[in-house]
Amino acid sequence: MQVSFTGFKNASSLKLVDPRNGDTAIGINVQLTDDSYGKELSEFKDVLKKNENTKIYRNPINSSFLNVAALIATDGNERQSILVLNGKPLNPSDETLGLYSFIAKLTRELVSTKPEKFVVNRDFLDSEDLRYGLIVGQDMKAFCGDKYDEVVSRIHDPAQVKIGAKVVNDTVQDVMVDYLA
């Protein structure tokens, strides 16, 4: 077993494009940890406790995971973006600002982390947490079919995770600019 020294481990990123209209979902799935380099798990749990309405964003598969997807739709020249946190739309409000801040901080950290610092535990690759947690509640093995092992290998590549984290961070910024305007 490898040990994380970043406050996270088992990070992955997946991009899905709807061939009918080009709408895109780019998500990251990260297991948060507490260690001497970061207390991301405790920080996230603290943010969830701040008020009753944010408790719904706890991950239903494994509470140590954060799964966030940027859903991007383009209608003509207009781009619309929303975030989905642990399977639930994350609408911007005063109550959810702490969650947006946490996601922004975590995604910046993912983008700036050196590739060799990314840790993926072998037991995670065969886990239900991966199979049902990447797309919250959906069976990735059934979704990917024969390509499951290939997809699992690709989505944990640090370069792929950094791209997904950058898109999610950009979406956080876009949503916040619209909310605060």
Residue 181 above 80 pLDDT?
yes
Task: State the amino acid at position 124 in one-letter form.
Answer: F
DSSP at 156: T
As a whole number, mean pLDDT of residues 8-14 equals 94
pLDDT per residue as tens digits for the range 76-85: 777 788 999 9
Which residue, chain included where needed, has tokens 């801040």? 101
Instruction: Please state, in angstroms and rounded to a whole number, the distance separating the CA atoms of residues 73 and 96.
Output: 22
pLDDT per residue as tens digits for the range 91-123: 999 999 999 999 999 999 999 999 999 999 989
User: What is the structure's pLDDT at 20?
Assistant: 87
CB 80 within 8 A of CB 72: yes
CB 148 within 8 A of CB 140: yes
As a whole number, mean pLDDT of residues 52-73 equals 91
Q: What is the mean pLDDT of the chain?
A: 89
Residue 5 above 70 pLDDT?
no
| 2 confidence band (pLDDT: 50, 70, 90) | very low
Task: State the amino acid at position 99 in one-letter form.
Answer: L
As a whole number, mean pLDDT of residues 132-148 equals 88
Say what the alpha-carbon torsion angle 141, 144, 148, 152 is, to the nearest 10 degrees.
Answer: -100
| 22 confidence band (pLDDT: 50, 70, 90) | confident
75 or 8: whose pLDDT is higher? Answer: 8
Q: 0.85 exceeded by the pTM?
A: yes
As a whole number, mean pLDDT of residues 44-53 equals 87
For the chain, domain boundaries? 8-180
Instruction: Please state, in angstroms and rounded to a whole number, the distance separating the CA atoms of residues 4 and 41.
Output: 12
For 99, residues 6+ apart whose C-beta sits below 8 A from its C-beta are 47, 48, 54, 57, 85, 90
As a whole number, mean pLDDT of residues 121-126 equals 90
